[in-house]
Chain A
Amino acid sequence: MKAAHEFARRHRLQWWEALPWLAGIAVFFVFPNYLAFSTQVVVTILFALSLDLVLGYAGIVTLGHAAFFGAGAYTVGILAQQFNWNEPLSGLAAAALVAGAIGLASGFVLLRTHGLTLLMLTLCTMALLEQAANMGAAWTGGFDGMPGLSFQKILGLFSFDVLYFRSQYLYSLALLLLAFALVRTLVYSSFGQSLTGIRENVRRMHAVGAPVRARLIVVYTVSAALAGLAGGLFAQTTGYVNLAVLGLERAAGVLIILILGGYGRLYGAIIGAIAYMVLEHLLAKAYPTTWQLGIGVTLVAVALYVPNGILGLAEHFWRKRSGKRPA
């Protein structure tokens, strides 16, 4: 008990941080028929988390993060289909490695720039990868993609559940927990603090002699690896990969989710993904042809009235209620 307290204190764990995970487990029991959708939400949360590292903490605005997601997805897919390597955990490791390598290479080249230029460069990198995937249709299946990917049992125990997605959901949730713990530790470390410093005032960081560019490249690489992990997880749980994993729609979608939830706060990724995807899901069921209107109006309203995202709104109310000064 004492050790647990020590642990919580050292990592500055708050009691409410357990809530999302409890909720995640509850979903398994309360919504047993919606686990395919729920798995998609978990994968997107992981992807949004990776984006938060670069966007929220390092201040790098990118529209091309799906490049890493897609790289991870295709790595898992190609390994499974062309090389018959379909052990899930090692596949994920490979996905993270490949995506991380691409992140390192592109970060090295692109992070000399910033602002609109960087945005366009990340976009072009992603688009190039998408074109390459299309041209390499013999390996990737092109537009029709790689159907029917199948994988061995997770840890040799749990097989992939084709119809109900039960094992996929728990598998994704477990991985998200691990990834979240990693990111949280990173963000609260001195490395993470220096990132915040870079985001807030680059010149001062340079003046203090901090290796700015090196730090940015490191966080970009880690973020890319995580995004690749999310992509690999997507490929494994969906059993199908096609060009959409590298598309602008996915990249823009995750960006919107993160802004909606609140970036730079870790939990924004969780809240944003759940809020956006659930809203979209419900609207699309009720209004198959015009749900985009509802989403669009919501985004506009949030931008106008809730600029710090949902988490910002929650913080605002929390502060008002407890009369505390902002942290």
Chain B
Amino acid sequence: MKARFAHVLAALSLAAAATGVAAQTVKVGVVLPYSGVGAEFGQQVDRGMQTYLKLNPNAFGPYKVELIKRDSKSPSGADAKTAVQELITQEKVDILAGFVYSPDAIASAPLVTEAKKPMVVMNAGTAWITNLSPMISRVSFSMWHSGYAMGEAAVKSLKAKTAVIGYTDFPPGKDSLQAFKLAFEKAGGKVIDEIPMGGPGQVPDFTPFFQRAKDKKPDVFYVFVPSGDHAVAVMKTYAALGMRQAGIKLIGPGDLTPDYKLQGMGDDAVGLITIHHYNADLDNPLNKRFVAAWKKEYGADSSPDFMGVQGYDGMAAIAHIVVTQKGKIDADGAMASLKGWKFNSPQGPIMIDPNTRDIVMNEYLSELVKSGGRLVQKNIGTINAVKDMCKELKEGKCK
């Protein structure tokens, strides 16, 4: 009896395996800036995706996944659009993923709507991107996640009454400014100056802007600049002008403290307070495993960053789609499966909001301290399940 049962079971599983093998390979088109000004970001996201695949080899069940990578080149949107068009028509991909720059995601939206292909955004931060198409979901963030949360935290945790805001003059900067200001003033604080600090292309000399902020003597100086070159220059200028000694706290979203550049910032950065959904020092077992795997593959000096974990989470979302859709991707079914999807990421618990298809995640308030000769992000507060407040409050273009 048992033997016959075992035989039947074996036959059934063989059949199941055979069906699995016969299912087609799921093709994912990955559009990232592999060259040009965004190359370091593209590299982070790509590595995050690879690390997920390495740590979770069975995440896709019996189904095979093929990643087809295309360079989105400069943040003009046009190259991304051409790449997406060809991925859909020529390569016949099932899912689109990636998109570091907002213009790239924005330009591609009409294509994925027309072709009905799920698009997983892994970085582009303009709040209303998810409103552009029912096919778009986002696992990364909008500027409002960190900006709004920091506005509240600045008043409640840091006891600040006045703030000066410095921001790079382009939509993510303006978004961040708006988000922070709304929350800060709602909580009772007052923004006494808003300083646009050049564009995202070239790094300006921040000295004149920071000097102007210093002269206003606020409690906190909230700064948003693109991660990378800008962030480093901000740290250096803050230290060079002696603003901390003057009693002005520098705060901002985690874009200011890219983990893979942290050690190079030196002692100048100690005392910086940031808020973000991820930093490499987060103390949970999944993150420790993530960081260890990363360093093993890419070098002890390297480090994952918020973009790396977004690549990781994005891959997990894709795996979820593939498994629930059993290897044959139906666009509406895929989007339905993402709504309300929960996942334990190295950054903590995340969820895709069923109404907006945007991410809901924790925001961690951290202070940069020196520990054991290294710069470390020390957690001083956690805000759970933060939504994108722009769409929640229907501000501006987020209606």
Question: B88, A288: Cβ atoms under 8 Å?
Answer: no
Interface string of A2-40 (1 = CB under 8 A from B): 000000000000000000000000000000111011001
Complex Cα gap A284–B71 (Å): 6
Query: Given A145-B106, A289-B34, does the pair A284, B89 have CB atoms closer than 8 Å?
Result: no
Query: Given A33-B89, A36-B85, A244-B77, does the pair A162, B69 have CB atoms closer than 8 Å?
Result: no
Which one of A148, A242, A288 lies within 8 Å of B76 (CB-CB)? A242
For residue B197, give the distance in angstroms from its CB to the closest CB of chain A: 13
Complex Cα gap A143–B126 (Å): 11
B214 within 8 A of A: no
Query: Given A145-B103, A244-B76, does the pair A289, B90 have CB atoms closer than 8 Å?
Result: no
Question: A148, B77: Cβ atoms under 8 Å?
Answer: no
Q: Which of B54-62, B110-118, B256-264 contacts A (4 or more CB under 8 A)?
A: B110-118
Complex Cα gap A142–B107 (Å): 14
Question: B107, A288: Cβ atoms under 8 Å?
Answer: no
Question: B85, A144: Cβ atoms under 8 Å?
Answer: no
A142: chain B residues at CB < 8 Å are 170-171
Interface string of B351-375 (1 = CB under 8 A from A): 0000000000000000000000000
A134: chain B residues at CB < 8 Å are 169-170, 199
Which one of A143, A165, A288, A289 lies within 8 Å of B85 (CB-CB)? A165
Question: A147, B132: Cβ atoms under 8 Å?
Answer: yes
Complex Cα gap A234–B82 (Å): 13
A108 within 8 A of B: no
B32: chain A residues at CB < 8 Å are 288
Question: B78, A238: Cβ atoms under 8 Å?
Answer: yes
For residue B321, give the distance in angstroms from its CB to the closest CB of chain A: 21
A247: chain B residues at CB < 8 Å are 76
B168 to chain A: closest residue by CB: A143
Complex Cα gap A121–B90 (Å): 43
Question: B170, A244: Cβ atoms under 8 Å?
Answer: no
A245: chain B residues at CB < 8 Å are 76
For residue B135, give the distance in angstroms from its CB to the closest CB of chain A: 13
Complex Cα gap A238–B90 (Å): 18
Question: B132, A163: Cβ atoms under 8 Å?
Answer: no
A34: chain B residues at CB < 8 Å are 86, 89-90
Question: B78, A162: Cβ atoms under 8 Å?
Answer: no
Complex Cα gap A40–B85 (Å): 12
Complex Cα gap A33–B89 (Å): 5
B74: chain A residues at CB < 8 Å are 244, 249
B391 within 8 A of A: no
B35 within 8 A of A: yes
Query: Given A163-B114, A284-B70, A289-B39, does the pair A240, B171 have CB atoms closer than 8 Å?
Result: no
Complex Cα gap A291–B70 (Å): 12
B200 to chain A: closest residue by CB: A143
B132: chain A residues at CB < 8 Å are 147-148
For residue B350, give the distance in angstroms from its CB to the closest CB of chain A: 25
CB under 8 Å from chain A, chain B span 284-324: none
Query: Given A143-B103, A249-B74, does the pair A292, B169 have CB atoms closer than 8 Å?
Result: no
B89: chain A residues at CB < 8 Å are 32-34, 36, 163-164
B79 to chain A: closest residue by CB: A284
Question: B71, A147: Cβ atoms under 8 Å?
Answer: no
B68 to chain A: closest residue by CB: A285
Complex Cα gap A244–B81 (Å): 14
Task: Provide a sorted-by-A list of 9 A–B residue pairs whose CB atoms are within 8 angstroms.
Answer: A137-B171, A143-B171, A145-B106, A239-B110, A240-B107, A247-B76, A288-B70, A288-B71, A292-B35
The 10 A-B residue pairs with the shortest CB-CB distance, nearest first, are: A244-B76, A288-B34, A143-B170, A36-B85, A33-B89, A33-B90, A288-B71, A162-B114, A144-B171, A147-B106
